[in-house]
Amino acid sequence: MAPILSACMVMYRCGDEIDVALRCIQNADLEVSVFLCDNSPDEMTAERLKWAFPGIVVLPQKKNIGLTEGHNAVLPRLQSKYHLLMDPGVSFHPSLLRAMVSYMEAHPNIAVLSPRFFSEEGEELFFPRKQLSVRSLLGCAFGSLGGFFLRWKREYMLANHDIEMPTPVDTAPVSFMMIRTEIFRSLNGFDPHFARSQADADLCRRILESRMGSVVYHPDMQVILRPPEGSGLFLENRQHRLPTVLRYFMKWGITF
């Protein structure tokens, strides 16, 4: 019988950081089917991981197919009830996965559950939680200037809200999200036209527009995220690459 939870990480020159994430899954108090989409055919990391973590399933790719298509590649193999999409640079407490599954079991109206993110230094990391708009785009681009730009940016991420209870939001980051497998499969996964940027926003919006369930941010579910080395303004810029933003606006319309 397949485990209730599956998990997928997309590998692309991730080095040893993925060992930490896999060890967190291995130490979890819940059985998990683990899939790795290997977008680095010129490296031997996947072969090493198969020996170090028996039971994981590696899906080797002939080239880097990107994050969204990497996550979509596992769809035909999923037999779980819940599916975890996560970055290699994530770590968490062994009790987290069972807590998230239990919460979704108790709340069948939830389609996606998103945790609270922290850096290794303990600083809270804010991701977009509202739908993309012109105002939020300007806020993220010019937030360093302060004033209304910073206010717009913080509104976009709900950073001004002291959220103490599970709260419905518009979007959740693909860096770590738990989704009902049936819903992920029915949507054929991510829209590959969005690569990484805006892919999570588009997925969540399709869920909400189709009334498949809610997207919920739970502040008591917490993970630590280590941005990729050399990422620079990773958290600031990954959501706002202009071609993908324009594609998102063309698909969903422009709002201020």
> Using N-to-C axis directions, what is the helix angle for 17-27 and 45-52, rounded to 10°?
30
Per cent of the chain over pLDDT 70 is 95
As a whole number, the mean pLDDT across the chain is 91
* Other Cβ atoms closer than 10 A to 72: 20
- pLDDT value of position 232: 37
- Report pTM: 0.92
Residues 6 or more apart in contact with residue 154 via CB below 8 angstroms: 126, 139, 143, 160
Ranges of each domain in the chain: 5-130+163-230
φ/ψ of residue 35, rounded to 5: -120, 135
List, for residues 220-256, the tens digit of each pLDDT value: 999 999 876 544 333 444 445 788 889 999 999 999 8
- pLDDT value of position 17: 83
Q: Is the pLDDT of residue 78 over 90?
A: yes
Q: Which of 61-65, 78-82, 108-112, 209-213 is predicted with the least confidence, judged by mean pLDDT? A: 61-65
Q: Residue 107 and residue 130: Cα distance in Å, rounded?
A: 22
Indicate the class that CATH gives domain 5-130+163-230: alpha beta
CA nearest neighbour of 50 among 38, 68, 62, 65: 38
Q: Answer yes or no: are the C-beta atoms of 174 and 83 closer than 8 Å.
A: no
* Other Cβ atoms closer than 10 A to 133: 16
Q: Is the pLDDT of residue 119 over 90?
A: yes
